[in-house]
Amino acid sequence: MKTLADFKRALVIGSEWEAFNHYYQSSLGIRAVGKVQSNCFAFITYRNGESNLSYCDFPLSKDIKFREDGTVEIYKEWCDGYRLMMTYKKVEQ
């Protein structure tokens, strides 16, 4: 993946992604995509035996970077500059 459009095409329902939240320094594990809309996507999250959707808005192209290993980095603007918030990597099936 090299562009935001590539990322959007890769986010198909049922595809699995490894997620890491850099703000909380925690792995979210491997999650499956449960919904994709024009402005956001959602991963299936299991809590207390129930499944829910956890939504994420698509970033602007200036807020996303693509590493050579296929990892997608999403940044958010803070008062002191940009901060890495989330990384996603598609799990090859």
- What is the mean pLDDT for each group of 10 consecutive residues in the chain (93 residues)? 95 96 93 96 93 94 95 89 92 83
The pLDDT of residue 28 is 92
The pLDDT of residue 79 is 77
Domain ranges, ordered by start, for the chain: 4-88
4 in the Ramachandran plot: left (φ > 0), alpha (ψ -120 to 50) or beta?
alpha
Residues 6 or more apart whose CB falls under 8 angstroms from that of 3 comprise 61, 66
The pLDDT of residue 92 is 84
The predicted model scores a pTM of: 0.87
d(CA 49, CA 85): 27
